[in-house]
């Protein structure tokens, strides 16, 4: 090692005090392993990684939430441009909660497009986000360097750079990815601060404050960095001073120093976040508290495919997040984690640093499980834990390399993490730009996950599908206004891709199961929202599929071409109340496609209205052969049995519906009506209690509740007391304390 480099290493070494015990206990020196070769490899990889990330991001499609946050970014821009006179960015309404998101990276991207007049707004966003994704990777490598040297930094950087899910979200997820960057930045600064303590450099303090400010300005969860600072700062002080006496002169001096730095850095960081966040800037204390109360739980629940079933996100199994993580991170990361857990106990000087890194990714995941948080879209809500998870894994590989003395064995162990990342690399190269649709070998890859877990849940593939339509669409003569109508579930993204082609194309909204009721010529559908049973049936993909976007040979998005509009014409007759004409055209649609789900469901509904349950069941049974757990199909089937005086079978079907979709209101309605017809007041009341738990209270609920309880001998006041107690119990059970408080107040008034 050259004298110049040796001097740099010596300068980087932190001499905590004149007492050698401090350094022995905490291993605060940066290891001498940081030789020139590994350092230059890291620098080269980092530079190359930035170029690759930026280039690859230009091929990414819009994510599902980008249009919302772009709108909020425009509001934020106007807020600052008008010096707060346009306060839309800081006003929360029942239908608009985006002021609760700091989204500083969204705002930065919008500022760039606005300032430089860039037309491709989303392309700019993706480039900006890719840079922040690269920064997260850079900080991951630098944390590893600080704790174990440049070789560990190289291994760790490669592990995260070739993590397909993390790379994929770096292209267009400006919600979750920047928070991961902020957390990586914060942990890096925390490690650097503690290694320098008690002789803290101003540069380190400023960087630390900036990391806190940035992380919080992205999402409120960035406040965790302050908590980590307080927790590990206290532990660090305790370890340093426990032998010499915690409250002796040196210990008290360092305690005051730690508290002083901690308070100052945290306050400056929070001030930075307030400046960057209009909602907090408007009323720092009140809105800070308001954000904390409203962002600890996600309010929106959606249905996701998990373990081969459609499940609501607010009642997913407790292991949803950890299982999804284990299925979708590279095996090399899992192996590195295991190495580290096994080896961290061999050297007491490394335990503190290992515990610090371990806690920063284990605790948030534990908290998500403990709080029964409403999470969905894989584990993107926990993505901010991944950087330090990879650091922990990279250090695990480095520790086992250090243990081996044999040169050949050491070379083999150095090569091990790079060899294990070949399969993720193949996925990245072969499935660009859908890197985030990745499942590892333990999960059986994408082929095994298809139909069992969500794939393109963020609608990335609508870009490729839209481009195919623009290049290949032909008019068939079915067009109604001269334009080719493109139907899709996610209109904002598709509309953006056709923004320069409005003379020839028109984008319209359609749900998968109601697409026959909409006028369209081509349709784009990702598989999100389609039942796994249907996807695995012979009816899928539909016969009019003309193009698919594939990952590892499995379709994640379909392009359909309309071959007949008989089902659409039938829907118009149905809306007019002309049932006979509707049936004629629905039958014509079934000749074209015997598995036309819109025709089958609508025909069954018409026959039920005609009081012909036998005919309805004929079409329902055909539909349910390829989609056996469909809510609407089974609802109509239950109704058919009820009309045939078979309430027992109707109850059985309704219970089956609720087993798969506990929020399906129609099933509760049938069950309640059946019990009321049977004068089973207790049974009807139990159904209503289940409706409370499912948040399925409609306008008729309260009058019916009161009537049922009056019939059981209670007066109106007692019925209301019983209802409010049930509501309080239900909300408390589900962790909705704010709602529970409202009804507690009603109880007090009664």
Instruction: Check whether 294 has a pLDDT greater than 90.
Output: no
What's the rounded Cα separation, in Å, for the pair 19 and 33? Answer: 24
> Which one, of 524, 376, 384, 386, lies nearest residue 454 by Cα?
376
Residues making up the chain, counted from first to last: 750
The gap from C-alpha 321 to its chain's centroid, in whole angstroms, comes to: 10
Share of the chain above pLDDT 90, in %: 83
User: Are the C-beta atoms of residues 692 and 726 closer than 8 Å to each other?
Assistant: yes
Helix ranges restricted to H, 307-347:
320-328, 331-343
Instruction: Check whether 340 has a pLDDT greater than 90.
Output: yes
Q: What is the pLDDT of residue 365?
A: 96
- Reduce the secondary structure of 434-459 to three states and give it as a string: CCCCCCCHHHCHHHHHECCECCCCCC
Q: What is the pLDDT of residue 297?
A: 59
Count CB neighbours of 268 within 10 A. 16
What's the rounded Cα separation, in Å, for the pair 109 and 70? Answer: 9
Residue 198: pLDDT band with limits 50, 70, 90: very high
User: Are the C-beta atoms of residues 58 and 127 closer than 8 Å to each other?
Assistant: yes
Hunting for tokens 């009056």 — which residue is that?
710
Can you tell me the mean pLDDT for 5-28? 46
Share of the chain above pLDDT 70, in %: 95
What's the rounded Cα separation, in Å, for the pair 55 and 64? Answer: 21
Token representation of residue 361: 């990714």
Mean pLDDT, the chain, whole residue set: 92
What's the rounded Cα separation, in Å, for the pair 375 and 57? Answer: 26
Hunting for tokens 């623009």 — which residue is that?
470
Count CB neighbours of 103 within 10 A. 28
Can you tell me the mean pLDDT for 312-329? 94
Count CB neighbours of 63 within 10 A. 30
Residue 106: pLDDT band with limits 50, 70, 90: very high
Q: What is the pLDDT of residue 477?
A: 87
Count CB neighbours of 206 within 10 A. 13
Residues 672-710 pLDDT 10s: 999 999 999 999 999 999 999 999 998 889 999 999 999
Residues 613-646 pLDDT 10s: 999 999 999 999 999 999 999 999 999 999 999 9
In DSSP terms, 554 is beta-bridged to 551
Helix ranges restricted to H, 536-578:
566-576
Instruction: Check whether 191 has a pLDDT greater than 90.
Output: yes
The continuous run of DSSP H or E covering 526 comes out as strand 522-526
Assign 269 to helix, strand or coil.
Answer: helix
The percent of the chain in helix, strand and coil, each rounded to the nearest 5, is: 65, 5, 25
Residue 462: pLDDT band with limits 50, 70, 90: very high
Instruction: Check whether 34 has a pLDDT greater than 60.
Output: no
Query: Radius of gyration (Cα) for the chain, nearest Å?
Result: 30
Helix ranges restricted to H, 524-576:
532-535, 566-576
> Residue 509 phi/psi, 5° resolution?
-90, 140
> Residue 485 phi/psi, 5° resolution?
-90, 130
Residue 298: pLDDT band with limits 50, 70, 90: low
> Residue 376 phi/psi, 5° resolution?
-160, 180
Can you tell me the mean pLDDT for 520-543? 95
What's the rounded Cα separation, in Å, for the pair 133 and 444? Answer: 27
Residue 2: pLDDT band with limits 50, 70, 90: very low
Tell the burial category of 433 from Cβ atoms under 10 Å away from its Cβ (0-12, 13-18, 19+): buried
Residue 13: pLDDT band with limits 50, 70, 90: very low
Instruction: Check whether 522 has a pLDDT greater than 70.
Output: yes
User: Are the C-beta atoms of residues 551 and 579 closer than 8 Å to each other?
Assistant: no
> Which one, of 684, 604, 667, lies nearest residue 631 by Cα?
667
User: Are the C-beta atoms of residues 90 and 279 closer than 8 Å to each other?
Assistant: yes
Largest CA distance in the chain: 95
Task: Give the N- to C-terminal CA distance of the chain in Å, as an integer.
Answer: 81
> Which one, of 359, 350, 355, 353, lies nearest residue 402 by Cα?
350
> Which one, of 220, 295, 283, 291, lies nearest residue 84 by Cα?
283
CB neighbour list of residue 626: distance below 8 Å, 6 or more residues apart: 533, 534, 537, 538, 539, 540, 595
- Reduce the secondary structure of 151-212 to three states and give it as a string: HHHHHHHHHHHCCHHHHHHHHHCCCCHHHHHHHHHHHHHHHHHHHHCCCCCHHHHHHHHHHH
Assign 484 to helix, strand or coil.
Answer: strand
> Which one, of 632, 563, 646, 630, lies nearest residue 604 by Cα?
632
Residue 296: pLDDT band with limits 50, 70, 90: low
> Residue 235 phi/psi, 5° resolution?
-65, -40
Taken in order 35, 41, 44, 48, the sign of the CA dihedral is: negative
Q: What is the pLDDT of residue 28?
A: 52
Token representation of residue 189: 């600064």
Residues 405-452 pLDDT 10s: 899 999 999 999 999 999 999 999 999 999 999 999 999 999 999 999
Tell the burial category of 471 from Cβ atoms under 10 Å away from its Cβ (0-12, 13-18, 19+): exposed
Q: What is the pLDDT of residue 245?
A: 76
Q: What is the pLDDT of residue 5?
A: 47
Residue 24: pLDDT band with limits 50, 70, 90: low
The gap from C-alpha 673 to its chain's centroid, in whole angstroms, comes to: 39
In DSSP terms, 550 is beta-bridged to 555
What's the rounded Cα separation, in Å, for the pair 177 and 471? Answer: 33
Residue 371: pLDDT band with limits 50, 70, 90: confident
Can you tell me the mean pLDDT for 120-130? 96
Q: What is the pLDDT of residue 195?
A: 96
What's the rounded Cα separation, in Å, for the pair 318 and 324? Answer: 11
Hunting for tokens 């194309």 — which residue is that?
505
Tell the burial category of 614 from Cβ atoms under 10 Å away from its Cβ (0-12, 13-18, 19+): exposed
Instruction: Check whether 29 has a pLDDT greater than 60.
Output: no
Count CB neighbours of 10 within 10 A. 12
Count CB neighbours of 648 within 10 A. 9
Can you tell me the mean pLDDT for 299-326? 91
Instruction: Check whether 744 has a pLDDT greater than 70.
Output: yes
Q: What is the pLDDT of residue 221?
A: 92
Instruction: Tell me if the pTM is above 0.85.
Output: yes
């Amino acid at each position: 090692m050259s004298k110049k480099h040796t001097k740099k290493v010596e300068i980087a070494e932190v001499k905590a005090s004149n007492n050698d015990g401090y350094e022995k206990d905490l291993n605060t020196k940066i290891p001498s392993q940081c030789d020139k070769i590994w350092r230059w490899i890291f620098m080269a990889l980092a530079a190359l990684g930035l170029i690759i990330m930026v280039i690859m991001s230009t091929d990414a499609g819009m994510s599902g939430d980008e249009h919302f946050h772009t709108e909020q970014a425009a509001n934020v821009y106007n807020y600052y441009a008008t010096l707060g006179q346009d306060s839309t960015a800081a006003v929360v309404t029942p239908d608009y909660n985006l002021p609760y998101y700091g989204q500083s990276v969204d705002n930065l991207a919008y500022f760039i497009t606005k300032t430089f007049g860039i037309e491709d707004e989303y392309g700019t966003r993706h480039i900006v986000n890719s840079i922040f994704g690269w920064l997260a990777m850079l900080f991951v490598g630098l944390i590893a360097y600080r704790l174990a040297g440049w070789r560990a930094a190289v291994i760790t950087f490669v592990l995260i750079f070739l993590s397909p899910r993390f790379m994929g979200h770096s292209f267009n997820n400006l919600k979750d990815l920047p928070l991961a960057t902020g957390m990586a930045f914060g942990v890096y600064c925390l490690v650097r601060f503690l290694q320098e303590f008690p002789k803290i450099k101003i540069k380190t303090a400023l960087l630390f404050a900036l990391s806190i400010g940035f992380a919080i300005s992205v999402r409120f969860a960035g406040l965790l960095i302050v908590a980590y600072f307080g927790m590990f700062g206290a532990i660090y002080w305790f370890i340093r001073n426990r032998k010499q006496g915690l409250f002796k002169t040196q210990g008290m001096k360092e305690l005051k120093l730690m508290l002083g730095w901690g308070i100052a850095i945290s306050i400056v960081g929070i001030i930075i976040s307030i400046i960057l966040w209009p909602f907090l800037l408007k009323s720092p204390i009140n809105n800070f508290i308001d954000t904390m109360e409203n962002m600890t739980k996600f309010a929106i629940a959606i249905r996701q495919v998990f373990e081969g079933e459609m499940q609501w996100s607010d009642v997913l199994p407790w292991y949803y997040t950890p299982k999804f993580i284990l299925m979708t991170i590279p095996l090399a990361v899992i192996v590195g984690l295991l190495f580290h857990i096994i080896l961290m106990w061999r050297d007491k000087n490394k335990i503190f640093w290992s515990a610090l890194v371990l806690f920063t990714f284990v605790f948030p995941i534990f908290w998500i499980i403990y709080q029964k948080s409403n999470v969905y879209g894989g584990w993107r809500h926990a993505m901010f834990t991944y950087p330090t998870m990879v650091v922990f894994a990279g250090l695990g590989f480095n520790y086992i390399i250090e243990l081996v003395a044999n040169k050949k064995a050491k070379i083999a162990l150095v090569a091990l993490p790079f060899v294990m990342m070949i399969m993720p690399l193949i996925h990245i190269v072969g499935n660009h730009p859908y890197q985030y649709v990745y499942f590892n070998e333990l999960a059986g890859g994408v082929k095994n996950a298809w139909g069992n877990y969500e794939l393109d849940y963020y609608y990335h593939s609508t870009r490729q599908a839209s481009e195919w339509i623009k290049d290949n669409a032909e008019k068939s003569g079915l067009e109604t206004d001269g334009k080719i109508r493109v139907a899709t579930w996610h209109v904002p993204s598709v509309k953006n891709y056709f923004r320069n082609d409005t003379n020839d194309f028109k984008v319209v909204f359609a749900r998968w199961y109601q697409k026959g009721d909409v006028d369209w010529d081509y349709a784009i559908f990702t598989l999100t929202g389609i039942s796994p049973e249907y996807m695995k049936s012979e009816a899928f993909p539909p016969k009019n599929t003309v193009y698919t976007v594939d990952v590892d040979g499995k379709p994640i998005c379909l392009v359909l071409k309309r071959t007949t509009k008989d089902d659409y014409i039938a829907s118009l007759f149905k809306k007019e109340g002309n049932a006979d004409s509707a049936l004629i055209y629905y039958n014509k649609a079934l000749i074209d496609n015997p598995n036309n789900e819109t025709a089958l469901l609508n025909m069954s509904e018409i026959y039920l209205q005609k009081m012909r349950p036998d005919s309805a069941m004929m079409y329902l049974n055909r539909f349910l052969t390829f989609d056996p757990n469909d809510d609407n199909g089974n609802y109509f089937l239950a109704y058919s049995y009820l009309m045939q005086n078979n309430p027992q079978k109707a109850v059985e079907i309704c219970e089956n519906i609720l087993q798969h979709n506990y929020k399906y209101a129609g099933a509760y309605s049938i069950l309640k009506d059946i019990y009321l017809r049977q004068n089973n007041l207790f049974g009807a009341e139990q159904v209503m209690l289940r409706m409370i738990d499912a948040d399925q209270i409609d306008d008729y609920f309260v009058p019916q509740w009161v009537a049922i309880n009056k019939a059981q001998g209670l007066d109106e006041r007692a019925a209301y007391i019983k209802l409010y107690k049930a509501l309080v119990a239900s909300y408390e059970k589900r962790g909705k304390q704010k709602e529970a408080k409202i009804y507690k107040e009603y109880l007090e008034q009664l």
